[in-house]
Amino acid sequence: MTDLMSDPVEAARVARRRRLDANWLLLVPALALLTVVLLVPLVQSFIRSISTPSWGFDNYVKLFTDGVTLTVLGRTATTALVVTIVAFLLGYPYAYFMTRVGDRTRAILLVVVLIPFWTSVMARNFAWLVILQRGGPVQTALSWIGLGDVQLVGSQIGVTIAMSQVLLPFMVLPLFSSLSAIDRRLLLAARGLGSRPIVAFWKVYWPLSRGGVVAGLILVFTLSLGFYVTPALLGSPQQSLIAQLLAQRTTQLLDFAGAGALGMVVLVVTLLLVAWANRVGGTISAIGVVATSGSGGRR
Amino acid sequence: MSTAPARAPEPALETVAIIAGSRGRRRRDRSVDPIPWWLAVIGVAVAIYFILPTLFVIPMSFGGQGSFQFPPKEFTLELYRNFFTNPKWIGSLLNSLLVAVLAASLATVVGTAAALGLHNLAGRVSRLVRTLLMVSMVTPAIVVAVAVYVSFLQWHLVGSIGGYVLAHAAIGVPFVLVSVTSALGGFDPKLLRASASLGASPLRTFMRVTLPLISRGVLTGAVFAFVTSLDEVVIALFLRSPTFQTLPVQMYTAVTVEVDPTIAASSSLVVVTVTLLLLIPLLARPAKR
């Protein structure tokens, strides 16, 4: 009797375990790819940064005592902050607008975000170079209103304008996914109870949207920290950012250990910020889901 | 904005609106709660900011062989002719396509397998694995590029197709993972048991039952992995060699070194191609929803 009972149970357990093993096996190729392309290079880079020329954290100490690196770090942080603020000021109303319009308009507004999100960063940077160049359309327009001498390309202004445009989807997508989950009837209720619109927004809507806001801010800020192409094309070598410094140390100075240390600092700061944003707003998955969901806010 | 005349809310209507779902609710909102004009102005202005570069690139591509002039003085197909006849441009396009096809295939197979595995697993370890696989999405490209460059130098992968394919596949995996995972969300596991009870092997079940049902997610993921690879420039800048470079790298050189306006033609081609590609998953979704 006990044999008859225990046999199928045992068989089921074995079958379940076998299925479990098969599922883990399915992960092996992806993990192998990740190991070869990301993990091993990053670990090697870290080991190099603490072992060359001698064991210790000299390379890291140098980063924070070397005047040039500190200046570049400061400039990068400032640029990233300005880009993040610009992206937020443009992205929040846009994401909010997306939640308010009809289905068809929303689909168009989403395509407007997704097409640049997916199309060539090179094409867009080239376009900004043409738009902002000396004698280009924007400068001509500025000269009509008496501001002709603003240097846009080769300055932080041009870098900020182009970076904000390139990174804006990373603000809008998590914001949209967070804002579209808010029940607008709460606002109507606040208004019905006699609240002014601005107070209703501040006391009801804003706190509910904070997850998406934090996610968007952190995402744009961290991505700005590692931006390479835009500052290289639209900025000036005298005002280089971390990424350019990193590239220069690697390919021109062949200072692999120093570059590794700088890269590690950028990576750790980025991952800490992303981990924090992930706890607040589910950043990474939000981006992925919205970006691949195609048209419409509804699933 | 003027679809329905403003009227006092009625309880019955409220219920109907909730049952009718978002469409009905929004229509009701509008009457009580109109969109402010300034919001519409900001929305349209930001939309223009989004598409502004694209609007400039296409007219630029019909310009002549001068420099990066806008507006172009003449309208010719000169830049396109140069793109398709100059071995530097057409060669880098073919390299890019080859790398993108191989990288997207690899990312799709590997990412779909991982999504299936993770779908059936639960617990802390599988969450950790999912996060790990997604992490390349937010890791700064330059940090990856620098680390990959030095390691690939040792492994003799710099300048080789294999190097590009591995690197681009790795950054494409998160997109496949996300889209296949969301396709699996609507998948009924009872079908697997039904198939098994009818005597199908796991592989046959996968090919005949699972794959057709998640095919849209797999296709979407493949398109995104393809586009990601086609567009990737930072890692490619480090992996390039005199004999093998991709289109974005050639575009980068055209701006920084050569001042070659052919980049306008190549930008337009990329923008148009990618837009069409992105419409595939969009149009492939069932019309009923």
Q: Each residue of B198-217: pLDDT tens digit?
A: 888 888 888 888 888 888 88
Q: Looking at the complex, does the CB of residue B158 fall below 8 Å from at least one CB of chain A?
A: no
Single-letter amino acid code for the residue at B213: L
Residue-level pLDDT at A177: 85
Q: Kindly determine whether residue A23 and residue B26, on different chains, have CB atoms separated by under 8 Å.
A: no
pLDDT at B282: 66
Per-residue pLDDT, A165: 93
Query: Which contiguous run of DSSP H or E holds residue A25?
Result: helix A2-34
- In chain A, DSSP assigns E strands to none
In a domain, B167, yes or no: yes
More confident residue, A18 or B113: B113
**Phi/psi of residue B72, nearest 5 degrees:** -65, 145
| In a domain? residue B105 | yes
Question: What residue of B is the nearest CA neighbor of A241?
Answer: B142
Mean pLDDT of A127-148: 81
pLDDT at B176: 93
Average pLDDT rounded to a whole number, residues A142-154: 77
- The C-alpha of B56 sits at a distance from chain A's nearest C-alpha, in angstroms, of 6
Confidence bin at B289 (pLDDT 50/70/90): very low
All residues of chain A having their beta carbon less than 8 Å from the beta carbon of residue B251 are 120, 122-123, 126
Q: What is the mean pLDDT of residues A205-232?
A: 88
Neighbours of B119 (CB within 10 A): 19
Cβ–Cβ < 8 Å for B67, B259: yes
Count up the domains in chain B and report the number: 1
CB atoms within 10 A of CB B59: 15
pLDDT at A144: 82
pLDDT at B242: 86
Q: Name the residue with higher pLDDT: B200 or A292.
A: B200
Q: Which two tokens stand for residue B109?
A: 């197979």
Decide if A165 and B248 are in contact by the 8 Å CB cutoff.
no
A121 CB neighbours in chain B (<8 A) are: 231, 233, 248
Summarised one tens digit per residue, pLDDT across range B148-167 is 998 998 998 888 899 999 99
- Residue-level length of chain B: 289
User: Residue B92, exposed/middle/buried by CB under 10 A (0-12, 13-18, 19+)?
Assistant: buried
Q: A190 pLDDT exceeds 80? A: yes
**In this complex, is the C-beta atom of B134 within 8 Å of any C-beta atom belonging to chain A?**
yes
Contact A122 B152 (CB under 8 A): no
The torsion angles phi and psi of B244, rounded to 5 degrees, stand at -140, 110
Q: Residue A37: closest CA among chain B residues belongs to which residue?
A: B167
In a domain, B177, yes or no: yes
Give residue-wise pLDDT tens across range B117-155. Answer: 888 887 788 888 888 888 888 788 899 999 999 899 899
Task: Grade residue B14 by pLDDT with cuts at 50, 70 and 90.
Answer: very low
DSSP 8-state secondary structure symbol assigned to residue A208: H
Q: How confident is the model at residue A148 (pLDDT cuts 50, 70, 90)?
A: low
List the single range of A283-297, B116-130, B161-175, B225-239 with lowest mean pLDDT: A283-297
Q: Is B270 within 8 Å of A260 when comparing Cβ atoms? A: no
Residue B154 maps to a domain: yes
For the ranges A176-190, A266-280, B7-21, which has the lowest average pLDDT?
A: B7-21
In a domain, B1, yes or no: no
Q: What's the token pair of residue A127?
A: 């376009």
Residues 195-224 of B with CB under 8 A from A: 202, 220-221, 224
Average pLDDT of B69-82? 80
* Domain presence at residue B242: yes
d(CA B120, CA B36): 47
Say which residues have a Cβ less than 8 Å from residue A61's Cβ, sequence separation at least 6: none
Tell if the CB–CB gap between B146 and A184 is shorter than 8 Å: no
pLDDT for A88 equals: 96
Is B204 part of any domain?
A: yes
Cα nearest neighbour of B220 on chain A = A292
Containing structural domain, residue B221:
88-251
Q: Most A CBs within 10 Å: which of B2, B46, B148, B229, as the mutation test of the A interface?
A: B46
* Residues B171/A30, Cβ–Cβ less than 8 Å: no
For the record, the structure tokens of A50 come out as 């603490």
Domain holding B224: CATH number? 1.10.3720.10
Q: Give the confidence band of B236 by pLDDT, cuts at 50, 70, 90.
A: very high
Q: Return the closest-CA partner of residue A283 out of B49, B233, B124, B178.
A: B178
Rounded average pLDDT over A110-138: 85
Task: Return the residue in A17, A119, A168 with the most chain B beta carbons within 10 A, the one to mutate for interface testing.
Answer: A119
Nearest residue of B to residue A168, measured between CA atoms: B50
Q: Nearest residue on chain B to A282, judged by CA atoms?
A: B131
Q: Between these two residues, B246 and A67, which has the higher pLDDT value?
A: B246
In a domain, residue B271? The reply is no
Cβ separation of B143 and A226 shorter than 8 Å?
A: yes
Reported as a pLDDT band with limits 50, 70 and 90, residue B284 is low
Nearest CA to CA, how far is B89 from chain A (Å)?
Answer: 15
pTM for the whole structure: 0.83
Looking at beta carbons, which residues of chain A come within 8 Å of B151?
Answer: 40-41, 44-45
Mean pLDDT of A175-202: 86
Chain A residues close to B148, C-beta within 8 Å? 37, 41
B238 contacts in A (CB within 8 Å)? 247, 250-251
pLDDT in tens, A228-264: 999 988 888 888 888 888 888 888 888 888 888 899 9
pLDDT band at B3 (very low <50, low <70, confident <90, very high): very low
Would you state the pLDDT for residue A163? 92
Q: What six digits make up the tokens of B98?
A: 């080859």
Q: Which of B142, B227, B268, B277 is the best residue to mutate to test the A interface, defined by the most A CB atoms within 10 Å of its own CB?
A: B142
The residue-averaged pLDDT of A191-195 equals 85
Asked if A209 contacts A179 with a C-beta cutoff of 8 angstroms, the reply is: yes
- Could you give the 3-state DSSP secondary structure of residue A254? coil
Asked if pLDDT for residue A114 goes beyond 60, the answer is yes
Compute the Cα dihedral for B207, B210, B215, B219 and give only its sign. negative
Q: Tokens in use for A204?
A: 């009801």
- Whether residue B227 lies within 8 A of chain A, CB to CB, comes out as yes
pLDDT number for residue B5: 43
Between chains, do A233 and B70 touch, taking CB under 8 Å as contact?
Answer: no
Q: Does pLDDT of A90 surpass 90? A: yes
pLDDT mean across residues, chain B: 82
Rounded-to-integer distance, Cα A214 and Cα A217, Å: 5
Residues 59-78 of chain B whose Cβ lies under 8 A from any Cβ of chain A: 60, 68, 70-71
Question: CA–CA separation, A188 vs A186, rounded Å?
Answer: 5
Q: Which amino acid is at A160?
A: T
Q: What average pLDDT does the segment A4-20 reach?
A: 60
Residues of A in contact with B256 (CB under 8 A): 232-233
Taking the C-alpha atoms of residue B258 and residue B100, their distance in angstroms, rounded to an integer, is 25
Nearest CA to A138 out of A162, A164, A166, A114 is that of A162
Percent of chain B surpassing pLDDT 90: 29
Structure tokens, A189: 């209720």
Nearest CA in chain B to A197: B33
User: Count of alpha carbons within 13 Å of B165, Cβ hemisphere only?
Assistant: 15
Question: In this prediction, does ipTM exceed 0.95?
Answer: no
Instruction: With H, G, I as helix, E, B as strand and everything else as coil, classify residue B244.
Output: strand
Nearest C-alpha in A relative to B22: A298
